[in-house]
């Protein structure tokens, strides 16, 4: 059994989280510049077995897809052609950035550290992955 990876895809940065090999615990891994995502994934997949990825489905409060979705769909097309053996899941990511900001603020980190966007992206990916794992277990 390999890991499951979550990608909180953004126009500038992508937050990355992964499970352990037993697919029980989600941990924030990295925040990558979006332009470097495929380079990062190629390297990571060589060193780690990843069974599937979970990519956030960005919707607004009314359930409409946000504009970044077109970028995500392009990313997924390329991902499928480069990593055909890795399964792709989508997961509603509504509120994850707000939840990430809240969890970081509760963690006692300094205000400067809390406002670091990369940290929010990584924590958002972790929340998406944790929620995905919980839903999968039901």
Single pTM value for the model:
0.83
pLDDT band at 114 (very low <50, low <70, confident <90, very high): very low
Give 138 or 54, the one with higher predicted confidence.
54
What is the sign, positive or negative, of the torsion defined by CA atoms of 46, 48, 52, 53?
Answer: negative
pLDDT digits (tens, 9 = 90+) for 26-68: 999 999 999 999 999 999 999 999 999 999 887 766 767 778 8
pLDDT digits (tens, 9 = 90+) for 61-100: 676 777 888 999 999 999 999 999 999 999 876 656 566 5
Does the domain at 3-137 match CATH 3.40.50.2000? Answer given as: no
Q: Is 24 helix (H, G, I), strand (E, B) or coil?
A: coil
Question: What is the Cα Rg of the chain in Å?
Answer: 14
For the record, the structure tokens of 42 come out as: 């190629």
- Whole-angstrom Cα distance, residue 7 to residue 61? 21
- Whole-angstrom Cα distance, residue 105 to residue 99? 10
| CA dist list (Å): 37 to 3, 33, 131, 137 | 18, 7, 23, 29
Name the β-bridge partners of 50: 3
At residue 40, the pLDDT reads 98
């Amino acid at each position: 059994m390999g890991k499951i990876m979550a990608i909180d895809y953004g126009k500038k940065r992508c937050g990355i989280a992964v499970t352990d090999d037993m697919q029980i615990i989600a941990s924030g891994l990295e925040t990558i510049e979006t332009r470097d995502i495929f380079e990062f994934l190629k390297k990571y997949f060589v060193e780690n077995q990843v069974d599937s990825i979970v990519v956030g489905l960005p919707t607004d409060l009314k359930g409409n897809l946000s504009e970044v979705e077109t970028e995500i769909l392009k990313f997924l097309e390329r991902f499928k052609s480069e990593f055909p053996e890795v399964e792709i899941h989508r997961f509603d990511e509504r509120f994850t950035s707000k939840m990430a900001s809240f969890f970081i603020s509760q963690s006692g980190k300094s205000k400067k550290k809390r406002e670091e966007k990369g940290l929010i992206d990584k924590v958002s990916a972790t929340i998406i992955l944790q929620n995905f794992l919980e839903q999968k277990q039901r």
